[in-house]
Structure 1
């Protein structure tokens, strides 16, 4: 049986490392040999963690001391301020890219995208934006689909995080067996939809990276539902000691926080999807076991615990701001296309600094005010979030 106020520092650390891996993957995506090519699976780690964390923080309170409306206000207050910060920087970066010839869109496209994205709605129109190494005006930029959130592409997953917050209202009522059945049903739909996307693209493969643009948007609902429900079920397993045997076996393979972090990084380094079978294996077997084992592990000392807490705190703001900050760096840094690694290193450093400053000086004060103004006293009765995103 676990304590509702228990801290999960190792999961904080995993969240932070996952956010950093996504940032590095984005900034180095156009190298001739891509780095962290499978880091997009970090999003699925986030979805599982969200289910786990919400169950830990609000599971005992929802429908009892904490009303549904109050809970939803708290989730909106938790997520929306940093989303807005990322979108503001994103709008600035898009304008800079437009002036630099690295983006092609009309004023109408831009206004529509701004309005929809700030309302947490996906923009399903056509907006062409260059990738990082093509944002400098060297030759003719090659433009591509900017995704459903062209102002800040990674925020597609935060749209689905909000959907998961709604899903939690129903999910928390079910036992772990029912949750697992629903999760695997969603996984089956996810796989079928991924096969359909692959066939449509003329490939005999399962497309797993779904949800981020218009032609795979629907798959995002199956993707987040699977991961989120698995996370809820894992948290309930810790209370009942009813985890599958494979989850318990993970303890024999991963016996320390360091081993868990290394295992995650090895996952992200895998260079190919093997027709979609590799990421599916990670989603079904490895990712849930990482969360289950991470919840049982403790950092190896006070310094390690502080490091885990820090990167966990940084993970959400970093995820929200790194992409538009990177766009600005690659747009204005001279010869960025000839010095990709150096430009990426600068973008990483500036993204981390911006995330920390904006979180501490802007997002947290705004969130405290909104929590006091709109969420009220009920917010103080809920368990403190485990670096919830």
Structure 2
């Protein structure tokens, strides 16, 4: 993977945040596979949004200030997200069709599956179902991620810190009462929750941007703090404190704990021995999130029908998710992104050449 004289692939990265993102993705998958083993896994989505706001603001705000156009930014985001997103849609649609024809799930008509798949493959919600992405339900957050990206490049980059704080306050004011009424923070996957999902997204996204605008340390020490962050994100998503109530715990995770963990995780790094594992789970985290829904029902057959041990099956399921995610990153995502980037670069060079040629002719 790398030579002794070259930098390792995690050099210059926020390795603690990579590891936390990987743990959060596994918690989401485990929540969907067996809710009792990760009862609050869904609040990982809020951590993802806060982390995305931090990373994108850190990486792209200077480029935007230097003149980067919105179209170029959104193109880069689509190149980053679309290959694995499409793989997830393809896999979950395949599983959905198999379940439909075998009679294990006939809740959706074939025409609904066909139309929904077309819309979903374009990263758009299905117009025929109450669920935005009926065959790959977790994809709803990727749709709102794109919306947040567009809002960021079009408006949020222009706002001062105080205005971002105002967006956070307004967003929290809108969705927090709904979380209490709903009894949990698991909100956003259906059409009727669109405004709450948007507010939930913007709160965490703007919180991440505010963290990025804070003064960053010149050096991130490899201390026990990195390990604490990894343990803390796992504890937050796997714990189920009864004394506070589900809705209030979810709000605490969304409003306070997730941004706090992004802030702390951006300032410390794990030890050298832990860095490779943290980098790996972070590297495959998006792929895991995109494809894990397709593995749930096949793996549940062993847990529910054959009565295999739940703990054993949780490890087998997560292992299968990690292996599938690694394969998708290595053999699909990296080649596809390279090809798309090369095509866009050649097209841009061709436009520049044509413009230069016309100006010369004139």
Please state which band the TM-score falls in when normalised by the shorter chain.
Answer: 0.7 to 0.9
Aligned position for 2:156: 171
How many residue pairs match? The answer is 330
> Unaligned 5+ residue runs, structure 1?
128-146, 199-204, 242-253, 379-389
**Relative to 1, partners in 2 of residues 1:335 and 1:6: Cα closer, same or farther, differing over 3 Å?**
closer
1:13 to 14, 19, 27: 19
- Aligned equivalent of 2:355: none
| CA displacement at 1:376 relative to structure 2 | 6.3
Q: Is the 8 A contact 1:336 1:343 kept in 2?
A: no
Give, in whole Å, the separation in 2 of the partners of 1:36 and 1:239: 33
| Matched residue, 2:289 | 319
List per-residue Cα deviations over 1:143-181 (Å, max 9, x = no partner): xxxx32122111111001111110111212222222112
SS in 2 for 1:120: coil
Specify the alignment match of 2:123 in structure 1. Answer: 120
Q: What is the match of residue 136 of structure 2?
A: 152
- Residue 153 of structure 2 is aligned to residue 182 of structure 1: no
> CA separation in 2, counterparts of 1:59 and 1:324?
36
Cα deviation for residue 108 of structure 1 reads 1.5
TM-score by length of 1: 0.78
**Change in CA separation of 1:278 and 1:375 when aligned onto 2, cut-off 3 Å:** farther
CA gap of 1:95–1:326, structure 2 versus 1, over 3 A, is same
* Structure 2, unaligned runs of 5 or more: 1-10, 349-362
In the TM superposition, what are the counterparts of 1:130-141 in structure 2 within 5 Å? none
Query: Structure 1's 356 and 336: CA in aligned 2 closer, same or farther, altered over 3 A?
Result: farther
The residue number in structure 2 matching 1:276 is 247
The residue number in structure 2 matching 1:246 is none
RMSD: 2.5
Once the two structures are superposed, the pairs formed by residues 6-45 of structure 1 within 5 Å of their partners are 6-29=12-35, 34-45=36-47
Contact 1:191–1:206, Cα closer than 8 Å, also in 2: no
Residue number in structure 2 paired with 1:256: 225
Q: How far is 1:19 from its partner?
A: 0.6
Q: Distance in 2 between matches of 1:375 and 1:229?
A: 31
1:339 is displaced (CA, Å) by 2.1
Q: Is the 8 A contact 1:70 1:375 kept in 2?
A: no
Report the CA distance between 1:182 and its aligned residue: 1.0
Checking the alignment, whether the CA contact within 8 Å between 1:176 and 1:233 is kept in structure 2 is yes
Q: Judge conservation of contact 1:194–1:219 (CA < 8 Å) in 2.
A: no
Deviates more, 1:206-215 or 1:258-267: 206-215
> Contact between 2:53 and 2:204, CA under 8 Å: does it hold in 1?
yes
CA distance in 2 between counterparts of 1:40 and 1:22 reads 6
Whether the 8 Å contact between 2:303 and 2:309 is mirrored in structure 1 is: no
Q: Distance in 2 between matches of 1:221 and 1:354?
A: 30
Match of 2:105 in 1: 103
Choose the corresponding residue for 1:208, options 171, 174, 185: 185
Q: Could you tell which deviates more after superposition, 5-14 or 179-188? A: 5-14
1:75 positional shift: 0.4
**2-side partners of 1:374 and 1:26: how far apart?**
37
Residues 63 and 372 of structure 1, relative CA distance in 2, 3 Å threshold: farther
Q: Distance in 2 between matches of 1:334 and 1:296?
A: 40
Displacement of 1:255 in angstroms is 5.4
With over 3 angstroms needed to count, the CA separation of the structure-2 counterparts of 1:194 and 1:295, relative to structure 1, is same
CA distance in 2, matches of 1:82, 1:118: 11
Select the structure that is richer in helix: 2
Cross-structure match for 2:330:
360
Give the Cα separation in 1 of the matches to 2:63 and 2:178. Answer: 36
Q: Does 1:285 align with 2:288?
A: no
Deviation at 1:218, TM superposition (A): 2.7
- Whether contact under 8 Å (1:194, 1:206) holds in the other structure is yes
Q: TM-score, normalised by structure 2?
A: 0.84
Q: CA shift at 1:329, angstroms?
A: 3.1
Shift, 1:348, TM fit: 2.2
Q: Contact 1:28–1:35 (CA<8 Å) still a contact in 2?
A: yes
Cα-to-partner distance string for 1:199-244 (whole Å, 9 max, x where unaligned): xxxxxx5542211123323311011000100001100013599xxx
Contact 2:74 2:149 in 1 (8 A): yes
> Cα distance 1:377–1:347, how it changes in 2: closer, same or farther (>3 A)?
same
Q: CA deviation at 1:59?
A: 1.0
Provide the secondary structure at the position in 2 that maps to 1:231: helix
